[in-house]
């Protein structure tokens, strides 16, 4: 257990976290705060897209690129709309 204090920081209050505490936590950059009566939980910011790049890369390696053309070489309606949106 580590004890610290709230300190005045302009019109706000701040908590100073020592370098060893930050290193032990692995926290950096943007953080999320969960506020409950009597406590504040500090966590790494949740990134819902974390790992997408690697997952897509693995899928492409396993299955090759998506071919949205039918047996006649035409794009299906949904793929054509997606292409015009510039999403693929």
* Extents of the domains making up the chain: 6-44, 52-85
Which residue matches tokens 């790992």? 51
Token pair listed for 75 = 């794009």
pLDDT tens figures, 23-79: 999 998 889 999 999 999 999 887 767 788 888 888 888 877 766 566 666 666 666
Torsion sign over Cα 20, 21, 22, 26: positive
**Going by DSSP bridges, is the β-strand pair 6-9/39-44 parallel, antiparallel, or unpaired?**
unpaired
Q: Is the pLDDT of residue 82 over 70?
A: no
In order, the DSSP letters of 15-59 are E---HHHHHHHT--SSEEEEEETTEEEEEEPP-TTTTHHHHHHHH
Q: Is the pLDDT of residue 86 over 70?
A: no
Q: What is the pTM (predicted TM-score) of this model?
A: 0.48
């Amino acid at each position: 257990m580590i004890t610290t204090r709230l300190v005045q920081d302009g019109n706000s209050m701040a908590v100073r976290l020592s370098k060893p505490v930050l290193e032990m936590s692995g926290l950096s950059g943007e953080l999320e705060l969960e506020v409950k009566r009597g406590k504040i939980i500090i966590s790494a910011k949740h990134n819902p897209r974390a790992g997408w790049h690697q997952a897509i890369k693995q899928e492409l390696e396993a299955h090759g690129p998506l071919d949205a053309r039918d047996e006649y070489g035409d794009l299906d309606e949904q793929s054509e709309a997606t292409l015009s949106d510039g999403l693929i």
